[in-house]
Amino acid sequence: MLDRNQERRRVLKVLGATGLATLAPAVARAKDAEAWRIGAALDVTGGASFLGVPEHNAIVLAVEQVNAAGGIKGRKVDLAFEDSKSTETDSVLAVRKLISQDKVSAIIGPSRTGGVMAVLPIATEAEVPLLAPVSGVNVVEPVAQRKWIFRPGQGGDLSVGKVLDYARRAGWKKLGILYSADAYGEDGRDNMRKLAPDFGVTIARVESFPPASTDLKPQLAKLSAAGVDAIFMHGYGAPSAIVYRNAREMGLKAPIISGHGQANNAFRNAVGPAVVGQPIVGAPVLVWNELPDSHPQKQPAAKFVEAYTARFGAAPDMFAGVAYDSAQMVLQAIRETDGERAQIRDWLENKVRNYVGVTGVFNFSPTDHAGLTRDALVMMIATEGGWRLADYEK
């Protein structure tokens, strides 16, 4: 039996531990009071880190470039960054922190459609402009309820439109859809269903796969049995790589045409030779050296690729480009206004006209917070070493 002193000491120990824990979060970030502050909430860890890491790099690059050139109106630009860890809950926490603790003027991120959907009400309520490097259509529609949200990236509807146009040219009449069971995949499926009739294409069969699949032969077998001319694949991560290998092993005749989820280096390295010859929707930044000099994205993409590669030792991919464009837009907005949140928002909505970015030529308006057309996308064909521009584009 413990004596009273021992007992008391133990109680104090427990109280102490709890007390320390509660006081600890007074740890605040060191802030330069004079600097412009922009925020980024990206998935640098977790399942979407293949998106978040390049995006983060791109924004860091943009901020470094502007600070090296003397900042904006004499003041430096500070990047407040939070990891949204590829989950909705962490996306919410990250954005909340950026808004209320770091008091940023604008936020870029999160990296996934799911994360963006989660933070929409927060950014809207707090009236902070949010630029989301994702492709989900619901992110910016209905526009009336998305006043503070911009999506300067290739939308899922554009991507699908590109695929359908390619399909029409290739003479494909029946398509199958293979989509990943998450927000991104569902977006692709919904877009494809909606737009296919406009291009004279029918959807013969729809199959899905969970994000952690290891074998997609059952789905491919069913799609093949439905007699499709080609399979539209909309997903990302390992299963998307497995799809190609499975198809090759099964001797599948129908080509697999993929949405832009595959247009990144992580995928290309993982999938190996199985994808060679297959068409993939991509962005100018990936095949910039094949673009004609007159292409509006050639110069910006070349410069961006050079700077990024020099800084990070690897070439950037599609969404790094989007993140870079987002950062540049925000910085430009700060240059041309007083850097207040509402001002940045208004600038984005009204002043982004024929804005030439790495990704495409942007046109925001009160009714369009997506800003791009199908031309911002290019169809690529996977090659032994990477990708090349599809003949369709030439």
Partner 1 sequence: MSALAQTAAGRQAVPIAILAALAIVPLLTRDDYLLGVWTFILLNIIVVVGLDVLLGYAGQLSLGHGAFVAIGAYASALLTTKLGWSGWAAIPVGMMVAALVAALIAVPTLRLRGYYLAMATLGFPILFDAIIRGGSNWSGGSSGVTAIPRLALGGVVLRDPTAYYYLVLAFLAVVLLLVWNLMESRLGLRLRAIHADEAAAMARGIHVVRTKIGVFTLSAAIAALGGSLYVHNVQFVAAGTFGLNYSLMLVVMLVAGGMGRIWGGVVGVIVLGWLPELLRDAATWQPVIFGVLLALIMLFSPSGLAGLVRRRSSFGPRSNNHVSDAPRHRTASGPLLRVSGLRKRFGGVTAVSDLTFDVAAGEIRSIIGPNGAGKSTALALVSGALPADAGSVQLAGEEFAGRPAHERARAGLGRTFQHARLIPTLTVFENIVLGASMLGGSRRDSEGRATCVLESLGLGAVAQRFPDEINHFERRLTEVGSALAARPALVLLDEPAAGLSAAEIELLANVLREERDRGTAIVLVDHIMALVMPLSDRILVLDSGAQIADGDPSSVTADARVRSAYLGQGAAHA
Partner 2 sequence: MEWLVAVPQFLAGGLAIGAVYGLIGAGFSLIYNTSRVINFAQGQFVVYGGLSAVSLVANGIHPLLALPIAVLACIVLGGALQAVLATARRGSDELTFILVTIGIAIAWQGLAHQIWGSGYHTFSLYPEGAAFVLGASVSYGTMVTLGVTLLVCLVLWLFLYRTLVGKAMRACANDPRVALTVGIRPRTMVLGAYLASASLGGLAGVLVTPSLMMSAEFGVLLGIKGFTAAVVGGLANPFGAIVGGILLGLFEGLCVGLISSDLQDAYAFIALLAVLLLRPQGLFARKLPAGVR
What does the buried/exposed string (b/e) look like for 160-186 if buried means 16 or more CB atoms within 10 Å of the residue's CB? Answer: bbbbbbbbeeeebebbbbbbbbbbbbb
Name the DSSP letter for residue 125.
H
Q: Which of 32, 198, 215, 306 binds partner 2 (CB under 8 A)?
A: 215
Report how far apart, in Å, the C-alpha atoms of 45 and of each of 48, 301, 308 are: 7, 27, 21
* Region binding partner 1 by CB under 8 A among candidate stretches 86-94, 254-262, 272-280, 339-347: 86-94
Name residues contacting partner 2, limited to 262-301 (CB under 8 A).
Answer: 266, 270, 272-273
Report how far apart, in Å, the C-alpha atoms of 174 and of each of 157, 177, 312, 382 are: 19, 10, 43, 23
Please, are residues 311 and 56 in contact by the beta-carbon 8 Å criterion? no
Name residues contacting partner 2, limited to 128-157 (CB under 8 A).
Answer: none
Please count the residues of this chain forming the interface with partner 2, following the rule CB under 8 A: 34
Name the DSSP letter for residue 212.
T
State CA 163 to chain mean position distance. 19
d(CA 204, CA 177): 8
DSSP H or E stretch at residue 309 = helix 298-312
Determine if 120 is a binding residue for partner 1 (CB under 8 A). yes
Name residues contacting partner 1, limited to 167-226 (CB under 8 A).
Answer: 181-183, 185-187, 210
129's tokens: 């402009």
Which one of partner 1, partner 2, none is in contact with 241 (Cβ closer than 5 to 8 A by kind)? partner 2
Determine if 125 is a binding residue for partner 1 (CB under 8 A). yes
Q: Which of 35, 65, 71, 97 binds partner 1 (CB under 8 A)?
A: 97
Q: Which of 128, 137, 242, 318 binds partner 2 (CB under 8 A)?
A: 242
Which residue's CB is nearer to partner 1, number 9 or number 353? Answer: 9
* Region binding partner 2 by CB under 8 A among candidate stretches 161-169, 245-253, 275-283, 314-322: 245-253
Which residue's CB is nearer to partner 2, number 249 or number 336? Answer: 249
Site string for partner 2, 181-210 (x = CB under 8 A): x-------------------------xxxx
Which residue's CB is nearer to partner 1, number 22 or number 367? Answer: 22
Determine if 144 is a binding residue for partner 1 (CB under 8 A). no
d(CA 69, CA 77): 11
Residue 201 C-beta: closest distance to partner 2, Å: 20
Beta bridge mates, 179? 208, 234
Which one of partner 1, partner 2, none is in contact with 215 (Cβ closer than 5 to 8 A by kind)? partner 2
* Region binding partner 1 by CB under 8 A among candidate stretches 115-123, 195-203, 257-265, 362-370: 115-123
What does the buried/exposed string (b/e) look like for 11-42 if buried means 16 or more CB atoms within 10 Å of the residue's CB? Answer: eeeeeeeeeeeeeeeeeeeeeeeeebbbbbbb
Site string for partner 2, 82-101 (x = CB under 8 A): ----x---------------
389's tokens: 């521009």
Measure the CA dihedral 372/373/376/379, to 10°.
140
Residue 93 C-beta: closest distance to partner 1, Å: 7
What does the buried/exposed string (b/e) look like for 65-96 if buried means 16 or more CB atoms within 10 Å of the residue's CB? Answer: bbbeeebbeeeebbbbbbbbbbbbebbbbbbb
Count of Cβ atoms closer than 10 Å to residue 193 Cβ: 13
d(CA 147, CA 143): 6
Binding site for partner 1 (CB under 8 A): 1-2, 7, 10-11, 13-14, 17-18, 21-22, 24-25, 27, 45, 82-83, 85, 87-89, 92-93, 96-97, 99-101, 113-114, 117-122, 125, 136, 138, 181-183, 185-187, 210
Binding site for partner 2 (CB under 8 A): 45-47, 49-50, 86, 181, 207-210, 212-215, 217-219, 221-222, 225-226, 237-238, 241-242, 248-251, 266, 270, 272-273
